[in-house]
Chains A and B, each alone.
Chain A
Amino acid sequence: MFVRLVYESFRRQTRRKLLIAIAVTLGAAVSTAMIAIAIDIGDKISHELRSYGANLVVTPADDSLDVQIGSVDLKPAGGALLNEADLPKIKGIFWRNNIVGFAPELSVNVKVGNRDATLIGTYFSKKLKFGTQEFTTGARSTFPWWKIEGVWPTDDSNQVLVGQKLAAEGGIEAGKEIQIDGKAYRVSGVFSTGGAEDQQIIASLSVAQTISQQPGAFRKIFVSAVTKPEDAFARRNPDSLTPADRDRWYCSPYPQSIAYQLQEVIPHSRAEQIRQVAQNEGNVLARIEGLMLLITLAALFTSGLAVSAAMATAMFERRQEIGLMKALGAGQFTLSGIFITESVLLACVGGLVGFAGGTFLARKLGYAIFGSAISVGPVLLPLILAIAIVVTFAGSAAAIRRAVKYDPVHALRGEA
């Protein structure tokens, strides 16, 4: 009898049920999408923040001072160097998957024609191998704001890129040849960075090593890594921590712990965060994450209230039905049972459909905005269902309570 009542209620009042189901579905879909976005936004924005380029730098441990003003490097030749053969080991550290890219650097003071200039050797997009893992890295991933007119040279060629200002002053164009320290090199493109590099020449690391006669050596590595905003714990000295805390520190992607791990794999090196990038990333990330979290809360609250309001109206509409049932002898318990079952059924159906819709929405939005999917974990499903049930129940609870108190006579006469 109970089942039949519920079934008939759905069959005969399709329009009403449909409206509520749509409201619940929409609410659940928006909640799912918003929760998914709030969970994933940190990850997405940290990847976007990589457009600020390298946030860590590795230098030789006993390096002498940099003597550099603007684009002019006045440092005397010599000084400590690092070994190129150690570079692939960067992909072997604990947080290797957070390393978006790295680029070594070796600068040499050269003469272009009869003009002094600095030549920087680096990787453009070099294929490297660590164990069985192959990967490509170089300046193109660590300095995404560099712009090239012409083409990027390959890492094994003798071609070079010339900075925009140097090119303008010396009348150099892409495709021409220039004399660097008396040898001819082909210019594959003119680049601009908006920084000091605009007066420099960029070549592959091997070209710089040949010119400076320092085979297999380089001066620094710029590393671009996805990190977690630092907190008080991140700033602790790992050597003073207890073993358990040290493991926790080591296994959190703080800029400090990634720097520490880089230092471990590159012998005689010192790794440091580039504070301009690393520190501000944390601030921006924290703000955006906080914003999305609060908006998600507001969204949950909004859809909850809106669904509740729709549910409440639907319940008020059914006074006469309730009156009739009461007149025929239905108890308060049976009545509430029927309505609660109905709302739970609606919530489950709406929640399920909404979850599917929300998953789809989040995925589409992820692709539209960030170019990668925002995934929705299945763990979210019970949560969304629970929220849907609570919300529909809360919406109908007041109405049900009032409904079971109606005097059937008044309700039937339409006076309640």
Chain B
Amino acid sequence: MNTRRHSTGAPMFLRMLARAAVLRKGTALSALLAIIVAAAAATAMLNLFVDVQTKLRKEFRGFGANIVVEAKNGASFTHDSLQQIESAVGEHGLAVPFAYAVAQTEKDQPVVIAGTDLGLVRKLNPWWAVSSWPNGTGQALIGIRAARVITSDGAPFALRYQGRTIRLSPAGTVRTGAGEDSRVYISLRDFQSWTGLQPSVVEIAAYGSPAEISSLLATLKADLPGADERPVRQVTEGEANILGKTRSTLLWSAVFIVCTAALCVLATLTGWLYDRRRDFAIMKAIGASDRVIALFVSGEAAVLACSGALLGFVVGTGIAAWIGRVNFHAPVAPRLDILPPVLAGCLVVTLIATLLPLRLLRQIQPAMILRGE
């Protein structure tokens, strides 16, 4: 008891803070709730805003290749240059080689044959409607229109290329609504042993931002001087356009939500402070200086802001993860680098909300407040 009675400064200050919170838990709680809501909204929106780009880019890769590398003047790629392309793309994308030739059907009709890695094509072009993918040598994936010309009942068929014949069994059909419908796709190995031709086109689906994609393009240009590299503008421009618009919609929504929440924090805290003018008057009457009261109030506000921001951060991260799971089927990873700005924002808003009304209260004489005027 003795030590406590004589203690001044920090311990006394802390006790006042703690007692104030416990005695007025009703109002303190609603103030805390407002801060938590604001911090949670800010965290969730910031998290989504940062992450939505990556998430949506994944969706946009469904549009297929965004870079096409083509050997110049009808030449084809050597094994080395194909490997160069593959190592340049590496983990940041998908590189699928295509070799083309025009073969004759049994009825002497020309048809385009493409040799490629069908396993990779399946990943590159998820929009292909394929009845069943080939999984062995001698099997072919036939475009829906080519199928009508080549084989009517799924029977094996023969194709000729420069006097050499290959027998293929149809594994399934592919429907895309574009040029693929008139082609026959076989594995690159079958294609090479039959025609002896090398791939002449590599389609690349590169992941990442426009800057990363153009740096990949520059690398490819430097590595392969004999080839023609170009971004698929239809895909890249559409993506940039829609991503930009979605992000600005998201940004503005975030601004609205965070502003509302912040203003509600202001309203809550201002109300709370006005409500306590008697306490301050008493403090002042028994000898507290304006500075001590301001310090006390801002200390209280800081504690509220910090605990609110931390709790809000946890809640907001949860909300962002939930939205990610529900909408993108992949959780939005928690981001610790969002915590400092959220914390700082909460501190600023609460300090403004408490110190502004305090300035007004300071001009009033304690006696008048205590008399209820």
Binding site for B on A (CB under 8 A): 16, 19-20, 22-23, 26-27, 29-30, 33-34, 37, 41, 44-45, 48-49, 51-53, 56-57, 63-70, 74-76, 143-145, 147, 192-195, 198, 272-280, 283-284, 287-288, 290-292, 294-296, 298-299, 302-303, 305-307, 309-310, 312-314, 316-317, 361, 365, 368-370, 402, 414
* Contact between A294 and B327, CB atoms less than 8 A apart: yes
Which residue on chain A has the smallest CB distance to residue B40? A302
Note all chain B residues with C-beta closer than 8 A to A312: 30
Known: A69-B112, A280-B59. 5 other contacts (CB 8 A): A57-B177, A66-B112, A276-B64, A298-B44, A306-B263
Which residue on chain B has the smallest CB distance to residue A288? B246
* Contact between A194 and B234, CB atoms less than 8 A apart: yes
* Contact A305/B33 with A23-B264, A275-B176 known, Cβ cut-off 8 Å: yes
Q: Does B245 contact A (CB under 8 A)?
A: yes
Which one of B9-17, B186-194, B251-259, B288-296 contacts A? Answer: B251-259
Q: Does B297 contact A (CB under 8 A)?
A: no
Which residue on chain B has the smallest CB distance to residue A312? B30
Ranked nearest first, the 10 interchain pairs of A and B with the lowest CB-CB distance are A306-B264, A194-B233, A309-B34, A279-B127, A66-B182, A290-B327, A272-B177, A52-B238, A65-B182, A310-B267
* Contact between B242 and A48, CB atoms less than 8 A apart: yes
Note all chain B residues with C-beta closer than 8 A to A283: 59, 62
CA distance A344 to B166 in the complex (A): 82
CA distance A144 to B241 in the complex (A): 12
* Contact between B37 and A306, CB atoms less than 8 A apart: yes
In the assembled complex, how far is the CB of residue A347 from the closest CB belonging to chain B, in whole angstroms?
15
- Mask of B182-222 contacts with A, CB within 8 angstroms, 1/0: 10000000000000000001000000000000000000000
* Contact between B27 and A313, CB atoms less than 8 A apart: yes
Q: Does B161 contact A (CB under 8 A)?
A: no
Of B56, B59, B201, B275, the residue contacting A317 (CB under 8 A) is: B275
Of A16, A276, A314, A402, the residue contacting B178 (CB under 8 A) is: A276
A-contacting residues, B243-299, CB 8 Å: 245-246, 248-250, 252-253, 256-257, 259-261, 263-265, 267-268, 270-272, 274-275, 278
Give the residue among B236, B246, B260, B326 with the most A Cβ atoms within 10 A: B260
CA distance A44 to B245 in the complex (A): 10
Which residue on chain A has the smallest CB distance to residue B105? A65
* Contact between B267 and A19, CB atoms less than 8 A apart: yes
Note all chain B residues with C-beta closer than 8 A to A20: 267
Note all chain A residues with C-beta closer than 8 A to B343: none
* Contact between B261 and A302, CB atoms less than 8 A apart: yes
* Contact between A294 and B323, CB atoms less than 8 A apart: yes
Note all chain B residues with C-beta closer than 8 A to A51: 237-238, 241-242
* Contact between B62 and A280, CB atoms less than 8 A apart: yes
- Chain A contact surface mostly: helix
In the assembled complex, how far is the CB of residue B6 from the closest CB belonging to chain A, in whole angstroms?
29
* Contact between B323 and A48, CB atoms less than 8 A apart: no
* Contact A313/B146 with A284-B59, A294-B323, A302-B40 known, Cβ cut-off 8 Å: no
Note all chain A residues with C-beta closer than 8 A to B38: 302, 306
Q: Does B149 contact A (CB under 8 A)?
A: yes
* Contact between B176 and A33, CB atoms less than 8 A apart: no
CA distance A291 to B90 in the complex (A): 31
Of B128, B245, B257, the residue contacting A299 (CB under 8 A) is: B257
* Contact between B64 and A298, CB atoms less than 8 A apart: no
Of A23, A298, A309, A369, the residue contacting B323 (CB under 8 A) is: A298
Of B48, B128, B179, B270, the residue contacting A295 (CB under 8 A) is: B48
CA distance A292 to B45 in the complex (A): 11
Of B63, B182, B245, B263, the residue contacting A26 (CB under 8 A) is: B263
In the assembled complex, how far is the CB of residue A117 from the closest CB belonging to chain B, in whole angstroms?
14
In the assembled complex, how far is the CB of residue B167 from the closest CB belonging to chain A, in whole angstroms?
20
* Contact between A298 and B263, CB atoms less than 8 A apart: no
